[in-house]
Structure 1
Amino acid sequence: MSASPGLPRPRPLRRAFVAAAATLGLAAAVAMAATAPADASAPTPPSGWTQVFADDFDGAAGSGVDTANWQYDTGTSYPGGAANWGTGEVETMTTSTSNVALDGSGNLRITPRRDASGNWTSGRIESTRSDFQPPSGGKLRVQARIQMPNVTGAAAKGYWPAFWMLGSPFRGNYWNWPSVGELDIMENVQGLNTDWSTVHCGTNPGGPCNETTGIGGSTSCAGSTCQAGFHTYAMEWDRSTSPEEIRFYLDGVNFHTVRANQVDATTWANATNHGYFLILNVAMGGGFPGAFGGGPDGGTEPGHPMVVDYVQVLKSSGGGTTPPPSGGRDAYSAIQAESYDGQSGIGTETTTDTGGGQDIGYIAGGDWALYKGVDFGSGGARQFYARVASGAANGVSGLVEVRLDSRSNAPVGSFAVGNTGGWQSWRTVPANIGTVTGTHDVYLTFSSGQPADYVNVNWFDFGH
């Protein structure tokens, strides 16, 4: 439903059009605040979904992972498998807690390190279970809340963190890739603010799945970068649709979908008619970093961990909708506006903003949206940022307000917004707020002296 910037946009007839004398401008875009690692437990499954696996990585600082849930991959290959894990990476994987350890605050840290001789070590763990697949006619959702290694530029050369899955027939064979399937939920290289998601299948090289590249898509992290804050990376494998779909999400926004009819039936069956196991690792070097400048080299900084808050697997026996967030939100990572827990007067629509997905729109005075369980931590948030657009007529403007725990409470902060050049002409706008700590339900409320629609919101977050 998006319209070109500056062109009239159809609006619901329930609202009158009112013009006035002046138009408010918007502040220029500002840098997003980084976030320190935070512990947010895996969210409670919504109605219609069942949790089949979860690890919150609770445990003493410096301890290893729970070996009932995970097993370590060690060395430079699977036993009898391709050298350098088949990708050309240069590190040796270990069980050492210097590479793989809990931090005592509800997070797993996988940390690459380099010794005095220039040799790299890192960590790679995979789930002991290898039976993760959707039921017939149902869905499987696999998600994790992760902060990528917080390193960028030349210091990040060679870094390759990933959260991914391999088809169970690979375990013990190690030479049947890619026919048995690989689902890359999150991959990143070189400290770029980019999340890549890919389905690998068929034959290598080339074949119906374009190997070794695979069928991939990518997007950027909004609010804080992928490196500076936690974000939720998810895959939803849906057997309730025809054709069957595998969808990838960043912070609740579907940015890449692969459908069964994109390849021949035999290729799809070989890749999907079995269970999968999960993998978390940070590789150094290899083919993917090689496509973006290579590394690691002498300027690469060791010691920057991938931090994993939780991993969760859900199943739905029917065709229920994607689970909406319900609590456990990080105030310092982008909160997608369409992921509300409640609203009044608001609609959703496709956005042309960076990263795609949806925004909330049709917003006028008196409307509101609720976001439950936003964790501000103990450091105190003092800034509010929102990604907004407006095609409102001259003189039509209003406030975007933040209220905590009740719509009747006074706003802790707000900013004014008027026409930005179009309903899909986006700006990031900052506002000072009173210091906020702890966990709160956040209401976005909208106040205007005119009854006309005046703003769209794509996402928002907070800063220190």
Structure 2
Amino acid sequence: MRTSRTGDTPRSPRRRRAPRTPLLAAFLAMTVAVAGFVGLTSAGTARGDVPPAPGWNLQWSDDFNGGNGAPPSAANWQIDTGHGYPGGPGNWGTGEIQNYTANAQNLSLDGNGNLKITPLRDGAGNWTSARVETKRADFKAPAGGTLRIEGRIQMPNVTGAAAAGYWPAFWALGAPYRGNYWNWPAIGEFDIMENVNGINSVWAVLHCGVNPGGPCNETTGLGANRPCPGASCQSAFHTYRFEWDRSSSPNALRWYVDDQLYHTVTQNQLDATTWANMTEHAGYFILLNVAIGGAFPDALGGPTPTPATVPGRPMLVDYVGVWTRGGSGPTDPPTDPPSGSSQLYARTGGGLGDAAGSGANATLTSAGGANRDGTPTNPQVFTSGGITRAYNGGATQFDLLVDAGTAVGNGQQVRVSYDRTGDGAWDRTETYLYFATDPVSGFEHYTQARGLKASTGSHGDLVNGKVRIEVWNAIGNGASTLGIGNQSVVRIPYG
């Protein structure tokens, strides 16, 4: 196994040590035991939308509609590049060998309603591929309710020797991992779909606790696998779903393929501290990637890749959706602002709420010396939904607390968007002129008085509508700070 560190230092997500023979045997035995199972297949072309889920409330989704070669939505996704996070373990901590890029050849929409992630190899034998993660990192089961994360995916359509080293995945990581990169596996990882080497099997894995060993048997994790129902995983689309159920006692984590349950972990299988460390934080962000090589594919057929491995076989993602059911909490549809109130506060976790939270700070990443004027780039995003209010004929107002410290030449910018019916289409967007902060430490007030730079669409009544604000650095070479919780507020012209 190739690793970035040795000893008992917490390691990076999805690391696999070569499974001991009994564990590998158990996996393969499970595969054989259910190999004859035939069920309904989800084979077919992209749906072009996110399907309804009766009894569930859709919180976030992307159906990847767009032109052939276009990148995925910058409002929904951020693109990971290189061989690891800055300051994190090399080769993403898993031994994978590819270089992740933002190039359209590796990452793009296919024009048919799918996201396409394609691993490629150049003439010198160097591999490239792609990995994306959601901007939002607050996906969490509401208290007393259930979270559902689902994607309809076709794994790379390659098998046998030609597939050696392919490692597609659809997974989620605990929010505290962002910016730390050494707190895994305590913050939790839910592998909703993993596959290696073109094997007709889907793996579901929970990572938690400490590494090595611990209650989740790291670095292997608590996992199960099975063949895809009907058509193979590689030859057809299948629907992969994860549920985090806080409505039951004990709480439970469940994994499905094409609505068929095949793995469950319950709260009483783990000690209280381990469970709390992976559940009592802001929530999770979602990732999609295709790695090449690494500890997991090596363990089941390595070393990988080999000269026989064929490049250019993409993973296709039809949609990703997040739903909740029951309970209460920040991922449930937010309640309407109370009568007479139009104030929404930017809150920790990416929400907009009518009640102020505890004071906190959010970091706006540097513009890197480029001109980002008018184009949200690595923005902090805050969203509120489920709002039914009448348009009062007024205009948007806001008061954002921003600070660039002692940096010179920094400017922050905001875009406010309104989805009047909650259908995912932003009917009205307003981009304001950026605010040039001074080089003196301390918050300044950025308000609508700076003026509009551009706007599209028109206002109208909100019926189960949404409001979103995006804040980013438009110019400069330094990071900035945005005050949230009880500090930055937007006043919507409704009520």
1:137 offset after TM fit, Å? 0.3
Equivalent residues of 2:159, 2:198 under 8 A apart: yes
The 1-side partners of 2:158 and 2:122 are apart by 19
Q: Which residue of 1 aligns with 2:112?
A: 105
**Other structure's SS at 2:81 match:** coil
| Cα distance per residue 1:288-322 (max 9 Å; x no partner) | 00111121111000000000000000011249xxx
Match of residue 289 from structure 2: 281
Look up the match of 1:247: 254
CA deviation profile, 1:303-344 (whole Å, cap 9, x unmatched): 00000000000011249xxxxxxxxxxxxxxxxxxxxxxxxx
For residue 479 of structure 2, what is the aligned residue in structure 1?
none
Q: Show the counterpart of 1:43.
A: 51
Q: Is 1:209 aligned to residue 216 of structure 2? A: yes
Are 1:302 and 2:311 counterparts? Answer: yes
Alignment of 1:85-234 (within 5 A): 85-234=92-241
Question: What is the identity, as a one-letter code, of the residue corresponding to 2:102?
Answer: T
Q: Which residue does 2:345 correspond to in 1?
A: none
Alpha-carbon distance in 1 for matches of 2:169, 2:325: 25
Are the counterparts in 2 of residues 37 and 307 from structure 1 also a CA contact under 8 Å? no
Q: Check conservation: 1:39, 1:105, Cα contact below 8 A.
A: no
Q: Is the 8 A contact 2:42 2:238 kept in 1?
A: no
- 2:215, 2:151 → 1: CA distance? 29
Q: Which consecutive unaligned segments of at least 5 residues does structure 2 have?
A: 1-35, 329-495
Structure 2: distance between partners of 1:78 and 1:235: 26
- Aligned partner of 1:316: which letter? R
Q: 1:29 to 1:205 in 2, by over 3 A?
A: closer
Q: Secondary structure at the match of 1:62?
A: coil
After superposition, the Cα gap between the structure-2 partners of 1:34 and 1:143, relative to the gap in structure 1 and judged at 3 Å, is: closer
1:262 equivalent in structure 2: 269
The aligned counterpart of 1:76 is 83
- Cα distance in 2 for residues equivalent to 1:71 and 1:125: 6
Displacement after TM superposition at 1:39 (Å)? 3.0
Cα distance in 1 for residues equivalent to 2:301 and 2:53: 41
Q: Secondary structure at the match of 2:225?
A: strand
On the 8 A contact 1:34/1:228 being kept in 2, the answer is no
Is residue 63 of structure 1 aligned with residue 67 of structure 2?
Answer: no
Could you tell me whether the CA contact under 8 Å between 1:235 and 1:248 is conserved in 2?
yes
Matched, 1:52 2:56: no
Q: Deviations over 1:203-247 (max 9, x none)?
A: 001011100000111111121100000000000000001111000
1:315 is aligned to 2:324: yes
Describe the shift of the 1:146–1:34 C-alpha distance in structure 2 as closer, same or farther (beyond 3 A). closer
TM-aligned CA deviation for residue 263 of structure 1: 1.1
Question: Quick check: 1:248–1:255 contact (8 Å CA) kept in 2?
Answer: yes
Q: How does 1:420-431 map to 2 (within 5 A)?
A: none
In the superposition, the TM-score normalised over structure 2's length comes to 0.57
Q: What residue identity is the alignment partner of 1:46?
A: P
Look up the equivalent residue of 2:243 and give its one-letter code: E
Partner of 1:6: none
Provide the secondary structure at the position in 2 that maps to 1:144. Answer: strand
Distance 1:221 1:246, change over 3 A: same
- Counterpart residue identity of residue 296, structure 1: P
Maintained 8 Å contact 1:179/1:270: yes
Q: Which amino acid aligns with 2:46?
A: A
Q: Cα offset for 1:38?
A: 2.9
Question: Relative to structure 1, is the Cα distance of residues 155 and 206 closer, same or farther in structure 2, using a 3 angstrom cutoff?
Answer: same
In structure 2, C-alpha distance between the alignment counterparts of 1:33 and 1:262, rounded to whole Å: 32
What SS class does the counterpart of residue 290 from structure 1 fall into? helix
**1:161-199 per-position Cα deviation (integer Å, ceiling 9, x unaligned):** 000000000000000000000000000000001000011
Note the C-alpha offset of 1:41. 1.9
Q: In the aligned structure 2, how far is the partner of 1:257 from the partner of 1:102?
A: 33
Q: Which residue does 2:377 correspond to in 1?
A: none
C-alpha contact 2:71 2:104 (8 A) present in aligned 1: yes
**Does 1 or 2 have the higher relative contact order (CA < 8 Å, sep 6+)?**
1
Deviations 1:23-81 (A, max 9, x none): xxxxx999x9995643342112313x211111000000000010100000000001100
AA at the equivalent of 1:312? G
Q: Secondary structure at the match of 1:271?
A: helix
2 CA distance for matches of 1:247 and 1:36? 25
How many residue pairs get matched?
291
- How many Å separate the matches in 2 of 1:287 and 1:258? 24
Please give the per-residue CA displacement for 1:359-394, whole angstroms capped at 9, x wherever unaligned. xxxxxxxxxxxxxxxxxxxxxxxxxxxxxxxxxxxx
Partner residue in 1 for 2:12: none
SS at structure 2 position matched to 1:288 = helix
Counterpart residue type for residue 67 of structure 1? A
Secondary structure of 2:203's partner? Answer: strand
1:143, distance to aligned residue in structure 2 (A): 0.2
Helix, strand or coil for the counterpart of 1:269? helix
Partner Cα separation in structure 1 for residue 162 and residue 279 of structure 2: 38
- Distance across 1 between alignment mates of 2:110 and 2:137: 26
Confirm or deny: 8 A CA contact 2:41 2:229 kept in the other structure.
no
Query: Is the contact between residue 41 and residue 238 of structure 2 (CA under 8 Å) also seen in structure 1?
Result: no
Q: Match of 1:196, as an amino acid?
A: W
Q: 1:309 is aligned with what amino acid?
A: D
Contact 2:48–2:65 (CA under 8 A) maintained in structure 1: no
